[in-house]
Amino acid sequence: MAKLLMSYEILPLPSRQVNYWTIENNNMNTFPQTRPIESLPDGFRPLEGKRVVDFTKILAGPLCTQYLADLGADVVKVEPLHGDDTRGWPPFESGVGAIFTAVNRNKRGIALDLKKPAGLSVAEALVREADIVVESFGPGVADRLGIGWERLSAINPRIVYANISGYGTRGPMNEGKGYDLIAQAFTGMLSLTGEPGGPPARSPFSPIDQATGYHAVIGILGSLMQRDRTGHGHRIEVSLFDSAVGFLGYFLQNYWVRGTEPERPGSGHESLVPYQAFPTADAPIILGIANDGFWRLFCDLVERPDLAADPRFATNGERVLHRAVLVPIVTQILAGRTRAIWLEALGARDIPCSPVHTLGELSAHPQTEASDMILRDGDFRTVATPLRADGERPALRLRPPLLGEHSRAVLAELGYNDDTIKALIADSILGTPHWANTDIGREP
């Protein structure tokens, strides 16, 4: 291993108008699994020209920065030399964890040891040229590494700095770690999930992590607008705790009004009946009787005028009070026919209903295909950002980066010369894929 250099020569910085999507093209032609996507339309890129330094890992932070990348920002994902933890979480696609793949498209990636002074110096060089910094380190870690708000805002007063944490910076839990399941439990969300009388059930799609990523994006975009007016950056804080409490808004309102804890509703709704999953002769469906008009339509469809006339079921309020009586009646009715028959009959009356699809059924459904919610490049697939602008989804421009895939190119843009980059690699400060440890501009 080469001796650690005491200083690293940095060349003058290039223009910020570099086309970040094609700078690596010559080096990547032999690596189609990570190539930039060609023949892209201009598309909706409101953040084009903005640079994001992404110090996040796992889910909430990477999802936030992926949205920023989808909106056109140049996102540089900074990973430790061993990589984001989710690279090693199964199942794997081309040797990379599927969760990592799901939340890291349209980014460039560098691998950097921030605990070494020369690694911190690279991070500072990135921040000087950045508009946004996003980090999701544990409590106090960013400050100890030298990339906290106070340090980085002194280097670049215009940065928008987003901190993603478990419990925020205030209160007795401010040192707590942030994990979706822990947040579901701590905030009472798990007391609401699961079947009546049964144990708690985790919401498996990590809703709190995902919502926290959304909230960070909202704060960042608002801060960019205010910065354009004032010239000064801002520190944005979002936490899993805050997101979970936000999700529970109407549940808490109901609790304060009622004064008692709700029972676990399973697939049902404490304020609507019948509004839940029901078995049919072959597969379950959701029946969503959301008002009294739908109830009367349902009673007419199943030829049960007695149910429509019964004062116990005439209004939604009464149906909620008599849930224990009504749900078994509806269950017995729906069990007499198949899913397909019920869906056709209910749909013909415009009564809200749905099959309980599997992921495979969703993937193959014509609505999914028509929605363009699945982005494709050859055999690579990923779920799009759920918005359209002028009728189009934000484009897939880059597949998720290999660990350290763009380390050389990014440092070259920052003014580091080839010898210095080689020294940083030799000193285990900068990481690159094994095939990239060659002269800049040459294919391995």
Q: List active site positions.
A: 209
Give a three-class secondary structure readout of 355-402.
Answer: ECCCHHHHHHCHHHHHHCCEEEECCEEEECCCCCECCECCCCCECCCC
Helices 60-70, 207-230: crossing angle, 10 deg rounding: 50
Tokens of 427: 């000193």
Q: Say if residues 64 and 134 touch (Cβ distance below 8 Å).
A: yes
Tokens of 288: 């969503």
According to DSSP, the residues that pair with 161 across neighbouring strands are 133, 235
Sheet holding 74-79, edge to edge: 235-239, 160-165, 132-135, 51-55, 74-79, 107-112, 430-431
Tokens of 244: 């979970």
Diameter over CA atoms, the chain: 88
- List the one residue out of 227, 223, 239, 355 whose CA is nearest residue 286: 355
Identity (one letter) of the amino acid at 359?
L
- Strands 107-112 and 235-239 come out as unpaired
DSSP characters for 45-99? Answer: -TTTT-EEEEE--TTHHHHHHHHHHHTT-EEEEEE-TT--GGGGSSSEETTEEHH
